[in-house]
């Protein structure tokens, strides 16, 4: 395990590792926002009556609301849920200060973006777009001020924040319903929804998963496709026991699971880098 941590810290220092952050960081940062797909499904279901069988199924609950209450209602509910000022996890602050070429953030809160904004460096966002609202456009490019820019501008940023499922900020873009994900998953095997610059930056690099689980097919699909054609070994910090599907997935994808909390990346950093 010490060898893994040493390799992780040297990889981060040299920009060879891409952090892939999930909703599990929210409770560690003290946020009260929903920190998983079932929890978010229940938040949405508490505001609109949905069939019992989809109350803890995020994409199903979101699709029901979209079908029977309109897309604008769904977007408004997501805005309300993720509005506000979430606390920044110390790890997010640390990663932002490193000026890494690429950070993947797979949730709808604004924590990682806030951490990058604090640094005052050149950065911007690439977000997944719903075909329901942006037909024919898979991704949106936004600078640090939240203004839409051309894809070519992303090459000038020190750090790209890639949010495949969108985010509450700055433009209320969400992939959340069955329809949203079916459209993307239809094309993702041939990489169409994955931005070209992300495909370039991942080549030969390793991924470090923090605050992520692989216990549902949706998250596994996105992780698999975003990692495609990268390095052959990666890491994930997951303290809880893995499910059978998770175990199979990490073995297939060359992900070494370290049963350590996220703060080990902060606590061990000076010693690891000094060694």
The mean per-residue pLDDT over the stretch 218-226 comes to: 97
pLDDT tens digit sequence for 157-167: 999 999 999 99
pTM: 0.95
Domain range 2-32+88-270, CATH class: alpha beta
Per-residue pLDDT, 120: 84
Convert 85-123 to b/e letters by CB count within 10 Å (16 or more is b): ebbbbbbbbebbebebbbbbbbbbbbbbbbbbbebeeeb
What is the mean predicted confidence (pLDDT) over 3-27?
A: 95
Strand, helix or coil for residue 206: strand
Cα–Cα distance, 54 to 189 (Å, whole number): 27
Residue carrying the six token digits 């499910």: 243
CATH 3.40.50.1220 in the chain is located at 2-32+88-270
Confidence bin at 1 (pLDDT 50/70/90): confident
Give the chain's mean pLDDT. Answer: 94
**Residue 174 vs residue 272, higher pLDDT:** 174
**pLDDT for res 86:** 86
């Amino acid at each position: 395990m010490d060898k893994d941590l040493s390799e992780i810290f040297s990889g981060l220092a040299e920009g060879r590792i891409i952090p892939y952050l999930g909703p599990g960081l929210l409770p560690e940062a003290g946020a009260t926002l929903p920190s998983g797909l079932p929890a978010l499904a229940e938040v949405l279901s508490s505001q609109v009556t949905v069939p019992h069988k989809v109350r803890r199924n995020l994409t199903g609950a979101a699709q029901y609301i979209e079908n029977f209450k309109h897309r604008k209602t769904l977007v408004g509910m997501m805005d309300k849920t993720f509005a506000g000022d979430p606390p920044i996890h110390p790890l997010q602050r640390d990663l932002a200060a490193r000026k890494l070429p690429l950070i993947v953030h797979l949730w709808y809160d604004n924590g990682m973006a806030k951490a990058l904004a604090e640094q005052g460096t050149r950065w911007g966002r690439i977000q997944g777009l719903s075909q329901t609202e942006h037909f024919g456009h898979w991704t949106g490019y936004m600078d640090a001020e939240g203004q839409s820019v051309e894809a070519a501008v992303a090459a000038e940023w020190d750090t790209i924040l890639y949010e495949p499922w969108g985010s509450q900020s700055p433009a209320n873009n969400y992939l959340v319903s069955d329809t949203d994900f079916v459209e993307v998953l239809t094309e993702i095997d041939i990489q169409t929804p994955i931005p070209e610059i992300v495909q370039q930056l991942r080549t030969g690099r390793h991924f470090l998963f923090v605050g992520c689980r692989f216990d549902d097919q949706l998250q596994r699909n996105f992780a698999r496709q975003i990692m495609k054609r990268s390095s052959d070994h990666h890491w994930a910090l997951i303290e809880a026991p893995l499910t059978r599907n998770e175990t199979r997935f990490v073995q297939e994808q060359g992900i070494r699971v370290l049963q350590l909390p996220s703060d080990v990346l902060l606590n061990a950093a000076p010693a690891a880098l000094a060694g």
